Amino acid sequence: MQVHKYDVVIVGAGGAGMRAAIESGQRARTAVLTKLYPTRSHTGAAQGGMCAALANVEEDNWEWHTFDTIKGGDYLVDQDAAEVMAKEAIDAVLDLEKMGLPFNRTPEGRIDQRRFGGHTRDHGKAPVRRSCYAADRTGHMILQTLYQNCVKHNVEFYNEFYVLDLLMVDEEVDGELNRRVAGVVAYDLASGELHVFQAKSVVFATGGSGKVFKTTSNAHTLTGDGMGIAYRRGIPLEDMEFFQFHPTGLAGLGILLSEAARGEGGILRNADGERFMERYAPTIKDLAPRDIVARSMANEVREGRGAGPNKDYVLLDLTHLEPEHIDAKLPDITEFARTYLGVEPYNEPVPVFPTAHYNMGGIPTNISAEVLQTNESTIPGLYAAGEVACVSVHGSNRLGTNSLLDINVFGKRAGIAAAEYSQTAEFVDLPEDPESYTATLLDAVRGSEGTERVGAIRKELQETMDTNVQVFRTADTLKKAVGDIDALKERYMRITVQDKGKRYNLDLLEAVELGILLDLARVTTAAALHRKESRGGHYREDFPDRDDENFMEHSMAYLDPAATEADVPGIRLATKPVEFTRYKPMERKY
């Protein structure tokens, strides 16, 4: 075991982690631990843009952006956080421009902007051009730009270090026991050795958990590591029932086609050629929020209007756009259609269907990115930002382009807060044998002699989540998923890994990831069973209406072995109030 000492340790090197590192690295000695090489992080797959009310191409302001975010999230958004994000969006975009990000430009040389789902002018009257973009590879450009600036500021990276435990100790303050952060434990994939990182501040920026689903836009590595570590250490997870299904995944594959295609004028059609979104969202049609579009698409298929030989998808039509326009604004996604489906978007509509895309829930934080251990109290020195966190600026449904904005606004806030805390805090003594939990976990998996295969369990987990916890849900389907997950967890105790070695053992890595996915799938399903209403990305067919009287509140899921009488034993579900500042809940029409 090796021990390192840093003021700030950041776990994850995607957009949120590196944006935090740029701020922290200029103020305190900072290390970034990442299980992937930084420029392979999933932020690089984000396509469409990053929104800010720059008003470069038409009238706009941050208050309209705030309203759209709150309404888009079906009023479960914490409005103080939404105001912060919308206000600071403008500087967040300009920061990236100054760092060298090559945005598309207007003829006058300003950052160009385009339409995106759910973003409107004057509180919903018409679509607005708010998304700042770099063709359809905006996330890639952000990731490269942030990494270059981390190198510029001499941020220290530990690449392919997989963090598996959060070290905390109890301290007595004014007669009460409080938890404080001591550091993290990481597994070095290259050597197989364990490293303890002692730190005054820890920032989690590990991304989402989309690989609990089979059909997903998420990379193989998005296994919810930060959420799982926090949950196992007694930190609650907030709003885990809300998972976004992006409308336009390539049918049968889940590979993402950006919402930018609809922002540039693409139209969704059913097998009859009908622009069906005119029936579901007559004002902004194909640019309605993602939860509405995804349900509408699924409904078209369920009612027999799907396209293809099995009538199991709908069509994204770009054929009325000029090829030059498509090539200039949407080069990557049109190439995906050609490569993976053999479809030429110039003259053929592209088969699409919803794909699991984004966690609205995660580790609860306040607007300073401090992690909450209860509804009010924070854990000194612990921060989270990006998809791993729940501020909550996305409520029950995230608007497109608010994710790249979220990682920049709250990644920056996390980096500043973590560094400033470290300047006055003392190091907390490490617990005795700080690596013991991680060593036991890895030895148990590596030394297991069962007969169950990790790949088989993972496949069955993803299939039951796709079947039972997707766009449409009922109590029966959710209970079926819980039963399946519990059976898989029991089988997980009898897994075997073929590679018993220490160096670059990907069998071991995937087995550990599977354990985390099983935990998070169970939490997601338990929270979905508890919420007996339909709101945003969570649609209960047995409770099809939004129920503000009983469910205008965040869910908080705690790991609690004593919760034996719960719907899902071992998980205690509590609630947290929604923060309102200016907008009262209204009927959500588009």
- Beta bridge pairs of residue 315: 269, 351
Distance CA 558, CA 238 (A): 9
- With respect to residue 560, please indicate whether it lies within any of the assigned structural domains: no
Domain boundary among 308, 332, 354: 354
Q: Are residues 442 and 548 in the same domain?
A: yes
Residue 454: CB atoms within 10 Å: 21
- With respect to residue 514, please indicate whether it lies within any of the assigned structural domains: yes
Instruction: Quote the number of domains for the chain.
Output: 2
Statement: residue 501 has pLDDT above 90: no
Q: Which is more confidently placed, 519 or 565?
A: 519
* pLDDT of res. 243: 97
Distance CA 221, CA 207 (A): 10
Statement: residue 502 has pLDDT above 90: no
Angle at 491 between CA 486 and CA 492, to 5 degrees: 90
- With respect to residue 243, please indicate whether it lies within any of the assigned structural domains: no
**Domain hosting residue 480, numbered range:** 436-552
Q: Is 279 a catalytic residue?
A: no
pLDDT digits (tens, 9 = 90+) for 117-175: 999 999 999 999 999 999 999 999 999 999 999 999 989 999 999 999 999 998 776 76
How much is the average pLDDT of 23-39?
A: 96
**CB 457 within 8 Å of CB 510:** no
- With respect to residue 387, please indicate whether it lies within any of the assigned structural domains: no
Distance CA 301, CA 276 (A): 11
pLDDT digits (tens, 9 = 90+) for 36-56: 999 999 999 999 999 999 999
Distance CA 52, CA 130 (A): 6
How much is the average pLDDT of 461-476?
A: 97
Active-site residue identified among 290, 295, 531, 546? 290
**CB 212 within 8 Å of CB 227:** no
Alpha carbon distances (Å) from 218 to 166, 253, 359: 25, 11, 11
Statement: residue 558 has pLDDT above 80: yes
Pairing type for strands 267-269 and 314-317 reads: antiparallel
Residue with tokens 């993602």: 290
Tell me the pLDDT of the chain averaged across its residues: 95
Q: Is the dihedral of CA 216, 162, 513, 184 positive or negative?
A: negative
Q: Which amino acid is at 367?
A: I
Residue 584: CB atoms within 10 Å: 7
pLDDT digits (tens, 9 = 90+) for 299-330: 999 999 999 999 999 999 999 999 999 999 99
- Residue 121: strand, helix, or coil: strand
Q: Are residues 349 and 441 in the same domain?
A: no
**Among 7, 4, 11, 2, residue whose Cα is nearest residue 32:** 11
- With respect to residue 531, please indicate whether it lies within any of the assigned structural domains: yes
Q: Are residues 346 and 448 in the same domain?
A: no
- Reported confidence tier of residue 565, pLDDT bands at 50, 70, 90: confident
- With respect to residue 461, please indicate whether it lies within any of the assigned structural domains: yes
- With respect to residue 296, please indicate whether it lies within any of the assigned structural domains: yes
- With respect to residue 108, please indicate whether it lies within any of the assigned structural domains: no
Return the CATH number at 490: 1.20.58.100
Distance CA 76, CA 415 (A): 26
Largest CA distance in the chain: 72
Alpha carbon distances (Å) from 196 to 182, 223, 311, 435, 548: 10, 22, 53, 7, 46
pLDDT digits (tens, 9 = 90+) for 376-423: 999 999 999 999 999 999 999 999 999 999 999 999 999 999 999 999
Residue 503: CB atoms within 10 Å: 11
Pairing type for strands 350-359 and 50-51 reads: unpaired
Return the CATH number at 335: 3.90.700.10
Q: What percent of the chain has pLDDT over 90?
A: 95
- Reported confidence tier of residue 453, pLDDT bands at 50, 70, 90: very high
Domain boundary among 288, 321, 354: 354
How much is the average pLDDT of 173-187?
A: 86
* pLDDT of res. 178: 84
Domain boundary among 354, 376, 407: 354
Note the pTM of the prediction, 2 decimals.
Answer: 0.95
| Straight-line distance from the first to the last Cα atom of the chain, in angstroms, rounded to the nearest whole number | 57
- Beta bridge pairs of residue 256: 249
* pLDDT of res. 171: 77
* pLDDT of res. 253: 93
Q: Are residues 540 and 443 in the same domain?
A: yes
**Among 37, 291, 237, residue whose Cα is nearest residue 143:** 37
DSSP 426: P
pLDDT digits (tens, 9 = 90+) for 200-254: 999 999 999 999 999 999 999 999 999 999 999 999 999 999 999 999 999 999 9
